[in-house]
Amino acid sequence: MVSERSLDVLRAIVADYVSSREPVGSKSIVDRHQFGVSAATIRNDMAQLEEEQLIVAPHTSSGRVPTDKGYRLFVDQLRDKRPLSQAQRRAIEMFLEPSADLDDLLARTVRLLSQITNQVALVQYPSFARASVRHIELVSVGPTTLLVVVIIDNGRVDQRLVESRHPLDDDEISRIKTRLNDEVSTRTVTAAAAALAECEAVEPADTTNDVLASVREVVLEVLSHYREDRLVMAGAANLARTEEDFSGSIFPVLEALEQQVVLLRLFGEMQVDQLDVSASIGRENAPFGLDETSIVTSGYRSSAGEIARLGVLGPTRMDYAGNITAVRAVARYLTRLLGVE
């Protein structure tokens, strides 16, 4: 059993090692932290931590560094989440602003998160399993060019251009739009895609239906895109700045980051605490080829109520308190932007 003071010593070792990348000795703990005991007493606490495999000496006669188990205990015992600075709050409010374009909003989200944490940032697209098609709008932008606007009830809006082989008048555009909305409006994304595919298979060919078929094809492409599980990533260059934290090359980590299916599975298997935060540390990530990294995530909610996750990935020597605070704050702000809170 680790004593309360030994836990405080572990917290001090984690904090000092994260900030300095240097093994931490008993004298430096006494000098930097107000424990009110001698270096010899701190050495006894460190011996207890080492016996519990929470810290280890990387070299003979050196200080100690946290193990994966030590980081895990530190995160589990994290009592106070570090508050965001005013500068970080302003950055979130200025960088993330309301947008009708979900792609743009999520791209800005990962860029912001990577900047304020100096880690690789990841955000999962919300699931569209329960989303429905609200409306298809057709806008003439030229004699033979239509703008197809697909509107989903979770706030997602996509636009595509379709070219006709003949000029289109307003009545023809209206007929095509009415027909298309009859086929997909209020249906779920999956059901709408199936209905479009069925109509494509049985529709007789004529001039108007050539345009209708082209619009159907575009809408089907958009809906199929919605049904894919996807991640957006930013800040991979931050790994190069922490290359010394990896025992070998960072290329295996970069290769693992390219496997979105693997990362999505990792997201799905992470355990969520009472604050809706997940942390997966070091060897816990070995099945995913990321055993020298840690991942911290939190959930956000789309306007349709779907929950997705965003987070940061970096070396195990990371600022867990600061990263947890940043991830939670950005997730909550993103939820508000999507109209849930």
Whether 81 maps to a domain, the answer reads no
Q: Same domain, yes or no, for 121 and 239? A: yes
Exposure letters 300-333 (e unless 16+ CB within 10 A, then b)? bbbbbebebbbbbbbbbbbbbbbbbbbbbbbbbb
CA angle 90, 96, 97 (to 5 degrees): 105
What is the count of structural domains for the chain?
3
For residues 318 and 18, give the distance between their C-alpha atoms in angstroms, rounded to a whole number: 6
Phi, psi of 64 (to 5 degrees): -115, 155
**55 plus 101 within the same structural domain:** no
In terms of domains, do 236 and 307 share one?
yes
**CATH number for the domain that contains residue 15:** 1.10.10.10
Let me know whether 118 and 264 are in one domain. Answer: yes
More confident call, 111 vs 341: 111
Q: Rounded to two decimals, what is the model's pTM?
A: 0.77
Same domain membership, residue 60 and residue 90? no
Model confidence at 60: pLDDT above 80: no
Q: How far apart are CA 117 and CA 328, in angstroms?
A: 12
One domain for residues 67 and 90? no
Per-residue CA distances from 78 to 1, 3, 297 (Å): 18, 16, 15
Domain shared by 10 and 110, yes or no: no
Assess whether 238 and 119 both reside in one domain: yes
> Is a pLDDT exceeding 80 seen at residue 341?
no
> Among candidates 244, 247, 238, which has minimal Cα distance to 314?
238
Q: Which domain holds residue 191?
A: 133-226
CATH of the domain at 169: 3.30.390.60
The predicted-structure confidence for 17-56, as pLDDT tens digits, reads as follows 999 999 999 999 999 998 888 999 999 999 999 999 999 9
pLDDT single digits (tens) 279-335: 999 999 999 999 999 999 999 887 666 788 999 999 999 999 999 999 999 998 888
- Which residues, including other chains, have CB under 8 Å from residue 233's CB and lie 6 or more apart? 110, 120, 121, 122, 257
List the beta bridge partners of residue 179. Answer: none
Specify whether 115 is located in the same domain as 241. Answer: yes
